[in-house]
């Protein structure tokens, strides 16, 4: 019998396939302050696809791994909060439900190894497992018959103080955007510089200088 699959939708550093690999197989990413235990099934995703989500991504709190603000997803941001929200570029990975449970546990700072009951989020589109970062699972519809799920915080973007992200973290997001969506440096930098938390702390030119390769197309 085929194990159930889900699309894990990454909008932050896990858009970078190598970064996600440390959640799956375990180990310490270069420059990180944490060693990941990995998933019970350390195999790679079956496939991945670029996706666009409603809502917005913002940076807040402080990463225990990289320092600086964390990328968090707000499905329903306030329309009056500058800069105005737009479609969120993300990367969907097709993995087993067990891998998703173990990945979620690591994101929440819990030991992997326990399956998740996905029935509540599949029924309502949202299920809060705890009060903190990445402890709320959000349903994003289906793709090829499998549910699309992501993790974020239970609060809205407007209810938390933005925090500027670290350079190493921005590079991971940029790598993931280039890998999954094929964006050039200029478009990546403009998108990241406009996100709440980065906006006002990082300019497009500052982020462009962090990224390797040619600037690429704006559009």
Segment 159-169, tens digit of pLDDT: 999 999 999 99
Pick the closest to residue 150 from 7, 4, 44, 5 (CA basis).
7
CA–CA gap between residue 138 and residue 80 (Å, rounded):
23
pLDDT class of 182 with cuts at 50, 70, 90: very high
Q: Are 112 and 95 in contact (CB under 8 A)?
A: no
pLDDT, tens only, 41-56 = 999 999 999 999 999 9
CB proximity list for 123: less than 8 A, separation 6 or greater: none
Is residue 81 predicted with pLDDT exceeding 80?
no
Pick the closest to residue 71 from 85, 84, 57 (CA basis).
57
Is residue 183 predicted with pLDDT exceeding 60?
yes
- Least confident piece of the model among 4-18, 68-82, 182-196: 68-82
CA–CA gap between residue 182 and residue 112 (Å, rounded):
32
Taking all residues of the chain, what is their mean pLDDT, rounded to a whole number?
92
Residue range 91-107: average pLDDT?
98
CA–CA gap between residue 162 and residue 184 (Å, rounded):
26
pLDDT class of 219 with cuts at 50, 70, 90: very low
pLDDT class of 31 with cuts at 50, 70, 90: confident
Is residue 130 predicted with pLDDT exceeding 60?
yes
pLDDT, tens only, 185-216 = 999 999 999 999 999 999 999 999 999 765 54
Query: How far from 20 is each of 9, 103, 173, 178, 201, CA to CA, in Å?
Result: 11, 9, 12, 15, 27
CA–CA gap between residue 46 and residue 193 (Å, rounded):
32
Q: What is the model's pLDDT at position 217?
A: 44
């Amino acid at each position: 019998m085929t194990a159930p699959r889900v699309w894990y939708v990454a909008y932050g550093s896990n858009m970078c396939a190598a970064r996600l690999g440390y959640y799956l197989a375990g180990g310490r990413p270069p420059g990180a302050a944490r060693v990941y235990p990995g998933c019970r099934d350390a195999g790679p995703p079956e496939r991945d696809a670029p996706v666009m989500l409603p809502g917005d991504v913002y940076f807040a709190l402080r990463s225990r791994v990289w320092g600086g603000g964390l990328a968090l997803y707000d499905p329903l941001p306030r329309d009056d909060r500058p800069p105005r929200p737009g479609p969120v570029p993300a990367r969907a990975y097709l993995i087993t439900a067990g891998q998703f449970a173990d990945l979620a546990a690591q994101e929440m700072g819990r030991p992997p190894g326990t399956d998740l009951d996905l029935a509540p989020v599949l029924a309502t589109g949202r299920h809060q497992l705890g009060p903190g970062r990445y402890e709320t699972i959000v349903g994003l519809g289906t793709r090829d018959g499998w549910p699309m799920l992501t993790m974020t915080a239970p609060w809205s973007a407007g209810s938390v103080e933005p925090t500027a992200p670290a350079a190493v973290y921005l590079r991971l997001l940029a790598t993931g955007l280039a890998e999954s969506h094929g964006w050039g440096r200029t478009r990546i930098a403009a998108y990241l510089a406009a996100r709440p938390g980065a906006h006002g702390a990082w300019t497009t030119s500052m982020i462009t200088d962090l990224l390797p390769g040619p600037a690429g197309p704006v559009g």
